[in-house]
């Protein structure tokens, strides 16, 4: 026998249009939305959920998380010294906390340690109903060259023997086109929904920088071609415009960060080619809007790089915001905030001049396309999964609105919010 729920909405953002509807109702049948209208079909015995004092949205999507760790202050230590089961358990913990905050789907962009594919296991156990948590879309391990941004063995570089030994076991490492073809095949074999690469260096790492190229052209092309042959997309951690353009010529599917892109024509080309951008505004907030309390929570190396690139980051941010490219919504929290605190990206997007409706579109329909589930999540519409969130604050005026979830439903099941846990 089907289970029915009727949700009464004060205001409704469907995710399909950039506006709010008033006094709407949603009829949920089992795990799917059946009707959306001013008055839906009255079903005897249906559970009534009264959210007439709230704004209802689709369950939100965070397109850039790293769920294999929790306490960011000890992340470097935990990367080396904690066992694979630890990282898998944290994936489950973060998924439960995100669901309680109205984020019903997240895209895990890899881990920097050999976690024995535990995030894939966490995904499966949530799907099977053994644990409560948001829906996981996963790249188990990001791909990196030796001494690249993903080479976590640099944390142990004062002991080369031990660093080499632990790096050899990392599933995402490779050198040369043939090795990386094999790495891609294994990631997909063991459960990858997409491939994540570190094409450039980064801010929060030693021994590389955001303008550095870490792969050869032959390696990049081998990764992209192999993934595409296996029907998977490739998303690239890249900052600088030259490397973005190079990868556009190679057929890359998406760019993570892109924080040094200050050429409107390049963003226009990305849009024309259908290459998405997940700009992850939050990690650079300490320098975009100078904040010493924020910066002091970053590593010394990241503070140094943020200050060095500060003017460039601010200029690029203005260009990205002024462009008409669809912006994905992703947090990339590895410092300052916990991985499940997805609402902070809304705060930082609005603080940079992004229209609230554009930010909401990023966390719904844009991200639904990025995770290749645009026909089933990211919208309140008949046939879609009944992923529903509600907020008591004004999403058009309050940048903190997505930090205060009042209702969370995934697949037709109501879950406790953060305030109730």
For 312-335, the pLDDT digits (tens) are 999 999 999 999 999 999 999 988
Kindly report the CATH number assigned to the domain that includes residue 191: 3.20.20.140
Provide the pLDDT for residue 352.
97
**Residues 108/370, Cβ–Cβ less than 8 Å:** no
Nearest to 87 by CA among 107, 103, 106, 66: 66
What is the rounded CA–CA span in Å between residue 4 and residue 44?
9
Q: Which segments of 160-263 does DSSP mark as H helices, in order? A: 160-168, 177-189, 217-229, 241-250
Tokens representing residue 109 in the block: 């962009």
- Tokens 């941004």 locate to 149
Provide the pLDDT for residue 394.
97
Residues 160, 265 within the same domain: yes
Complete DSSP assignment for 118-155: HHHHHHHHHHTTSS---EEEEEEE-BB-TTSTT-GGGG
Residues 115, 18 within the same domain: no
Residues 359, 383 within the same domain: no
Tokens representing residue 25 in the block: 């109702």
**Residues 197/160, Cβ–Cβ less than 8 Å:** no
**Residues 349/283, Cβ–Cβ less than 8 Å:** no
CB neighbours of residue 420 within 10 Å: 8
Q: Which domain holds residue 29?
A: 4-58+378-420
Mapping DSSP to helix (H, G, I), strand (E, B) and coil, where does residue 394 land? coil
Residues 38, 99 within the same domain: no
What is the rounded CA–CA span in Å between residue 38 and residue 179?
57
Residues 268, 386 within the same domain: no
Mapping DSSP to helix (H, G, I), strand (E, B) and coil, where does residue 37 land? strand
Residues 290, 252 within the same domain: yes
CB neighbours of residue 168 within 10 Å: 10
| Backbone φ and ψ of 294, nearest 5° | -70, -45
Residues 220, 145 within the same domain: yes
Q: How far apart are the first and last CA of the chain?
A: 30
Residues 160, 297 within the same domain: yes
Mean pLDDT of the chain: 96
pLDDT per position in the chain (421 positions), as tens?
A: 899 999 999 999 999 999 999 999 999 999 999 999 999 999 999 999 999 999 999 999 999 999 999 888 888 889 889 999 999 999 999 999 999 999 999 999 999 888 999 999 999 999 999 999 999 999 999 999 999 999 999 988 999 999 999 999 999 999 999 999 999 999 999 999 999 999 999 998 888 899 999 999 999 999 999 999 999 999 999 999 999 999 999 999 999 999 999 999 999 999 999 999 999 999 999 999 998 888 888 888 889 999 999 999 999 999 999 999 999 999 999 888 999 999 999 999 999 999 999 999 999 999 999 999 999 999 999 999 999 999 999 999 999 999 999 999 999 999 999 877 6
The number of domains in the chain is 2
What is the rounded CA–CA span in Å between residue 83 and residue 116?
9
What is the rounded CA–CA span in Å between residue 268 and residue 320?
10
Residues 303, 271 within the same domain: yes
Give 401-404's long-range contacts (Cβ < 8 A, gap of 24+). 401/343, 401/346, 402/60, 402/102, 402/342, 402/343, 402/346, 402/347, 402/363, 403/101, 403/341, 403/343, 403/344, 403/346, 403/347, 404/343
Residues 220, 359 within the same domain: yes
| Backbone φ and ψ of 35, nearest 5° | -145, 150
35 beta partners: 27
What is the rounded CA–CA span in Å between residue 263 and residue 420?
46
Mapping DSSP to helix (H, G, I), strand (E, B) and coil, where does residue 412 land? coil
Kindly report the CATH number assigned to the domain that includes residue 41: 2.30.40.10
| Burial zone of 160 (CB within 10 Å; 0-12 exposed, 13-18 middle, 19+ buried) | exposed
Provide the pLDDT for residue 76.
86
Is the four-CA dihedral 90, 92, 98, 103 of positive or negative sign? positive
Residues 19, 69 within the same domain: no
Residues 108, 50 within the same domain: no
């Amino acid at each position: 026998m089907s289970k029915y729920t009727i949700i009464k909405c004060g205001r409704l953002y469907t995710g399909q249009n950039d506006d709010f509807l008033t006094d709407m109702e949603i009829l949920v049948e089992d795990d799917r939305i059946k009707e959306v209208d001013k008055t839906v079909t009255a079903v005897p015995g249906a559970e009534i959920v009264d959210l007439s004092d709230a704004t209802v949205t689709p369950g939100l999507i965070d397109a850039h998380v790293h769920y294999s760790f929790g306490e960011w202050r000890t992340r470097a230590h935990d990367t080396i010294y904690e066992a694979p089961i630890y990282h898998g358990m944290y994936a489950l913990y973060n998924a439960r906390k995100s669901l309680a905050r109205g984020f019903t789907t997240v895209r895990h962009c890899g881990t920097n340690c050999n976690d024995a594919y535990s995030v894939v296991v966490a995904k499966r156990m949530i799907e099977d109903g053994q644990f409560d948590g948001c829906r996981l879309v996963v790249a188990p391990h990001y791909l990196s060259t030796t001494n690249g941004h993903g080479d976590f063995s640099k944390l142990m570089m004062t002991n080369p023997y031990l660093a080499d030994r632990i790096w050899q076991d990392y599933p995402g490492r490779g050198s040369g086109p043939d090795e990386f073809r094999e790495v891609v095949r294994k990631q997909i074999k063991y459960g990858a929904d997409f491939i994540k690469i570190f094409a450039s260096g980064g801010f929060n790492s030693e021994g590389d920088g955001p303008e550095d190229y870490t792969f050869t052209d032959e390696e990049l092309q081998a990764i992209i071609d192999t993934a595409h042959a296996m029907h998977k997309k490739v998303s690239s951690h890249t900052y600088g415009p030259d490397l973005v353009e190079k990868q556009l010529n190679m057929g890359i599917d998406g760019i993570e960060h892109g924080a040094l892109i200050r050429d409107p024509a390049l963003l226009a080309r990305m849009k024309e080619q259908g290459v998405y951008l997940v700009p992850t505004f939050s990690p650079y907030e300490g320098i975009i809007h100078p904040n010493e309390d924020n910066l002091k929570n970053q590593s010394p190396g990241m503070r140094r790089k943020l200050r060095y690139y500060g003017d460039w980051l601010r200029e690029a941010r203005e260009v990205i915001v002024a462009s008409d490219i669809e912006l994905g919504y992703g947090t990339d929290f590895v410092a300052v905030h916990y991985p499940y605190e997805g609402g902070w990206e809304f705060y930082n997007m609005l603080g940079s001049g992004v229209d609230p409706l554009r930010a909401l579109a990023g966390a719904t329909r844009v991200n639904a396309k990025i995770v290749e589930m645009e026909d089933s999540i990211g919208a309140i519409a008949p046939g879609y999964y009944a992923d529903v969130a509600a907020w008591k604050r004004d999403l058009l005026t309050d940048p903190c609105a997505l930090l205060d979830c009042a209702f969370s439903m995934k697949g037709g099941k109501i879950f406790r919010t953060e305030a109730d846990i």
